[in-house]
Structure 1
């Protein structure tokens, strides 16, 4: 998904929401054979929900016995509606699900395990596959992926006397400094300084330093490691040195400031390429993307969405075939052309623009090493503690060591 949806408390969801959605679920009961006439209910979120309807029409035409009923759901209400439907036993046959939801819904016992004979782990980016795995069981088939790379103004870099992309932390801070001192930009790099979801901006620093929030098992907090402290110090140094803003602005649009040159460098996702091309046409030939400049290595965060099947669905066979259609190499290449969402299936990267566009190639290379968040039911609560730690460092309220120690204790209490 293009942004991380925060998880709403289940207790806050009203009975009315569940009743409203009752008619949307599948019939349950014995599974209907895939070649029988039937209707498959599908929920897709955000822009994907709007675009999937056209794919469904094409699928209906090729498979007249299957009617695909796509319901678009906004990301702002997606979690609430999914929880309400799960509680009422009315989940759709197929649903798009962000990685931050997976642990919670797997724990509810409402998702059908993935048929790993049909869907092969090796066909997808490792990080894309792992975000759908909970306690060694896969519940989601990767649909599309999302990661962050470095966007930077090449024209302003040349003005500052730098002709290549930064490859490590030292070079990135040197470029940020040169942008200000030699190219006259207001800032050197935009990173979110504090508030909700600051962790999204921090992940490239954390992972590239070899740090983590919890260990691979998801059962032990490791946020007070030397690598994490080092990442917090590096992140905070941009604010301390005046290279990045100290003030958080809700709804801030970095693309506008990238266009006017006040922010010449930022970490961004694939959808922002289109926003620059469409909204800042004067920048043509004046910007580029590069892999995340790293400390020990170049590692970015991995996001995206998976497709899940409801355990109560009475149309699992048809659902599996529709998901196969969406996630094989051909379907993924077609979906990229429609949505510009990056394919999770690695074979799709061998055709068309995905194989020839230099910028897209950077995303593919970055995804190969990207790390995904563990599918923990309390992950949003955990990352809120990380948000607080980052903010306390950038706002000068505590040292990196003290912030990491405090967050470590809070995360341990959440892990139980």
Structure 2
């Protein structure tokens, strides 16, 4: 795959990037890590809100460097990044979601990672893989995300369920038992349609041995394993075990609390939400690994930190990224945000080492899978969203829906 030059479509937004130029690197010769300088950093969502405090701590130990953190909302992040890249004005350091990195690496907008300074073996392999494009690393893993199964243990006893579902067959039997015997309105909450439905589908897809893209980036979404996974996913709707109505902004914790939804897949942030918002549920729920089909495999998500190819502060940027992604910095970041560390050493001591729920997430990360970075990854996954929606709404068979997605995705990959 050849890395493209910045395209005409980017040039169309270059004018808007001028408003961001004060936030970007100035290009030219690197000034060196010891020089007095201002390092510009963009971070998204909650991370953008929290990173400023960490930057102040970094500045105390590096008085020559001023770190200017600009929080950016995820809803406008892609637009701002594209505009800045078109003008050669990306900030020195940028938080990159896994769906973005391939696009910006393909533009030539990101500096390749110094793999002598940042060792692949220090991080979960699926976290590192999210920063690799065309065989070269462009992002250093910052934090990770994966999904496991949350389930009501008290209602399981009422439903006659003995232990956590270990297989996908067990999962559907449990959903039926919760619904029929424990009085739950639904058996399992999974997203039926809409944007990013694919994230709800990944545990079924990956555990079946299926994938959207193979390791070489070629589409394989209509493989027999993937079709089987989507048939399984769709059966929850056909049997009335999952709600086929898509509800934007749906808060599953409310229905989990009442028992209307006894099981759902989600990430580590849900542990804190349940503990804080529903303390009376303590001892009535648990987390467990994704039930296995061929194996137990969940999605790998999270964010990387990337350095702009146009930055004139690359040495200082590399040092700051090292501060954030080292074991000590990662442990501190977890305390501040509850984002799970991508650096495996950060799990060895302290709060994470003794947390039983977080151990489930760590074990899941060992087998978690990430999509290969692609310039059009968001468009690719949207085709799978459409396929899933057509099946859950009873408009298409799994095979026909995924054949259609396969054809559309083939036109999007290089």
- In structure 2, relative to structure 1, the CA distance for the partners of 1:191 and 1:39 (3 Å cut) is same
Partner residue, 1:168:
167
Q: Secondary structure at the match of 1:17?
A: helix
Q: Secondary structure at the match of 1:144?
A: strand
> By how many angstroms is 1:19 displaced?
1.9
How many angstroms apart in 2 are the aligned matches of 1:319 and 1:410? 39
Contact 1:13 1:80 in 2 (8 A): no
- In structure 2, relative to structure 1, the CA distance for the partners of 1:325 and 1:11 (3 Å cut) is closer
Q: For residues 23-71 of structure 1, what are the alpha-carbon distances to aligned partners after superposition, in whole Å with 9 as ceiling and x for unaligned? A: 1112221111211211111111100011000100011111111111111
Q: For residues 51-104 of structure 1, what are the alpha-carbon distances to aligned partners after superposition, in whole Å with 9 as ceiling and x for unaligned? A: 000100011111111111111111111111111111111111101000100110
Partner residue, 2:40:
41
> By how many angstroms is 1:196 displaced?
1.5
How many angstroms apart in 1 are the aligned matches of 2:114 and 2:411? 35
Partner residue, 2:369:
371
> By how many angstroms is 1:16 displaced?
5.5
Q: For residues 246-291 of structure 1, what are the alpha-carbon distances to aligned partners after superposition, in whole Å with 9 as ceiling and x for unaligned? A: 1111111111111111011000011111111122222111111100
Map residues 192-231 of structure 1 onto 2, 5 A cutoff.
192-218=191-217, 220-231=218-229
Unpaired segments ≥5 residues, structure 2:
1-7
Partner residue, 1:294:
292
Q: For residues 279-333 of structure 1, what are the alpha-carbon distances to aligned partners after superposition, in whole Å with 9 as ceiling and x for unaligned? A: 2222111111100002100000000000000011111111111111111111100
How many angstroms apart in 2 are the aligned matches of 1:158 and 1:267? 20
Q: Secondary structure at the match of 1:35?
A: coil
How many angstroms apart in 1 are the aligned matches of 2:405 and 2:316? 45
Contact 1:46 1:73 in 2 (8 A): yes
Contact 1:145 1:303 in 2 (8 A): yes
How many angstroms apart in 1 are the aligned matches of 2:162 and 2:395? 37
Q: Secondary structure at the match of 1:355?
A: helix
> By how many angstroms is 1:15 displaced?
5.2
How many angstroms apart in 2 are the aligned matches of 1:32 and 1:286? 57
Q: Secondary structure at the match of 2:304?
A: strand
Q: For residues 195-215 of structure 1, what are the alpha-carbon distances to aligned partners after superposition, in whole Å with 9 as ceiling and x for unaligned? A: 211101001100000001122
Partner residue, 2:52:
53
Q: Secondary structure at the match of 1:111?
A: coil
Partner residue, 1:84:
83
TM-score by length of 1: 0.96
Contact 2:139 2:306 in 1 (8 A): yes
How many angstroms apart in 1 are the aligned matches of 2:412 and 2:77? 24
Q: Secondary structure at the match of 2:391?
A: helix
Partner residue, 2:358:
360
Which consecutive aligned stretches of 4+ in structure 1 deviate over 3 angstroms post-superposition? 9-17
How many angstroms apart in 2 are the aligned matches of 1:378 and 1:113? 20
Aligned-residue Cα RMSD (Å) equals 1.4
How many angstroms apart in 1 are the aligned matches of 2:73 and 2:400? 38
How many angstroms apart in 2 are the aligned matches of 1:14 and 1:224? 36
Q: Secondary structure at the match of 2:105?
A: helix
How many angstroms apart in 2 are the aligned matches of 1:280 and 1:10? 48
Paired residue for 2:383, among 382, 385, 401? 385
Unpaired segments ≥5 residues, structure 1:
1-8
Q: For residues 116-142 of structure 1, what are the alpha-carbon distances to aligned partners after superposition, in whole Å with 9 as ceiling and x for unaligned? A: 000000000000000000011100000
